[in-house]
Amino acid sequence: MTKNLLEELFDFIETTHKFQKSNAEHSYQLAMVAWYLVTKHKLPLDLTLVIKYSLVHDLSEEKSRELLGEKFPEFKDVHHLINSHSKNTYEESKFIYALDKFLPMINEHKSKGKNLDKLIEAGQDTISKSEFVDRYLKELIKSKSN
């Protein structure tokens, strides 16, 4: 029996759960899942940019200036990435933004949690901004009713 799109993703995410215990590990899970999806489906996205967005997606501009600021001037593209991610300027940013909202849904579904409907309701508009992640959301909603 072949696995469907969602089952394959479930398997991969279950593997990443072994690493996730903090915000840093959440970013790691997001980067790994994004890398997997971009590679598996040959998405027309810049993989390097996708991974970079995954790493900085939870940093605010203020926080990055505070942490990196003048101390690491050679690292100033981080500020550009954070700024462009917050504005969803590029497809890679939209993809990560949507995937970041979708992963808690998958994690909730896999753990048979009771908050899945609330998560879907709260994240649906954001996820719809990435056509690819939206396909997965539709699969999740369909699997929920089965």
pLDDT (tens digit per residue) in 97-117 = 999 999 999 988 888 878 889
Between 24 and 43, residue with greater pLDDT: 43
Distance CA 146, CA 142 (A): 7
CATH 3.30.70.2660 describes domain 5-144:
no
Residue with tokens 């940093």: 59
Confidence (pTM): 0.80
CA dihedral of residues 92, 57, 61, 45 (deg, nearest 10): -10
> pLDDT value at position 18?
56
> pLDDT value at position 137?
93
Would you say 34 and 54 are in contact if contact means Cβ atoms under 8 Å apart? Answer: yes
Distance CA 60, CA 66 (A): 10
pLDDT (tens digit per residue) in 48-101 = 999 999 988 877 666 666 666 555 666 677 777 877 887 888 999 999 999 999
Q: Which two three-digit tokens encode residue 130? A: 């990435």
Q: Tell which phi-psi region holds residue 68, choosing left (phi > 0), alpha (psi between -120 and 50) or beta.
A: alpha
Q: What is the DSSP letter of 145?
A: T
Distance CA 48, CA 1 (A): 34
Q: Which two three-digit tokens encode residue 146? A: 């089965």
Distance CA 95, CA 133 (A): 7
Q: Which amino acid is at 134?
A: D
